[in-house]
């Protein structure tokens, strides 16, 4: 299992509209595929003085093959729809994470 993390920076001008979009459209559509599991939305507290707010969305995904399939089938179009709607008022970057068990087995 891997974690697909995308951090978005949202301009103040569209902050509330975009946050609602993430909650009501982006996350539900991603989860509806059945490939993106356990969504988590978090606000980034350290904002480095930028205008706007930053949020991270995380999904658990079975493996990179499943993620690549989802991206080709739905993910890229979903991201493009957000860019079309909000333009340069939103920017994001993605990282893949692996959960490491920290307790003794």
* Pairing mode of beta strands 37-43, 90-98: unpaired
Task: Let me know: does 67 contact 58? Beta carbons within 8 Å.
Answer: no
Task: Let me know: does 40 contact 57? Beta carbons within 8 Å.
Answer: yes
Which class is domain 2-98? alpha beta
Average pLDDT, the chain: 93
Task: Let me know: does 36 contact 70? Beta carbons within 8 Å.
Answer: yes
Confidence at residue 74, expressed as pLDDT on a 0 to 100 scale: 94
Domain assignments of the chain as residue spans, ordered by start = 2-98
- Confirm whether pTM is higher than 0.85: yes
- Note the pLDDT tens digit of each residue in 35-69: 999 999 999 997 666 789 999 999 999 999 999 99
| Ramachandran angles phi, psi of 36, nearest 5° | -100, 115
Confidence at residue 44, expressed as pLDDT on a 0 to 100 scale: 94
State the Cα–Cα distance between residues 2 and 52, nearest whole angstrom: 29
| Residue 57: closest CA among 83, 78, 39 | 39
- Note the pLDDT tens digit of each residue in 73-90: 999 999 999 999 999 999
């Amino acid at each position: 299992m891997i974690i697909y993390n995308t951090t978005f920076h949202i301009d103040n001008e569209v902050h509330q509209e975009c946050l609602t979009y993430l909650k009501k459209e982006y996350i539900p559509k991603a989860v509806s595929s059945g490939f993106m599991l356990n969504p988590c939305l978090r606000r980034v507290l350290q904002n480095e003085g930028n205008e706007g707010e930053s949020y991270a969305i995380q999904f658990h995904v079975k493996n990179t093959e499943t993620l690549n399939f989802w991206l080709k089938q739905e993910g890229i179009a979903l991201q493009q729809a957000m860019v079309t709607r909000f333009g340069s008022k939103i920017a994001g970057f993605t990282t893949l994470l692996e959960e490491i068990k920290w307790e003794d087995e």
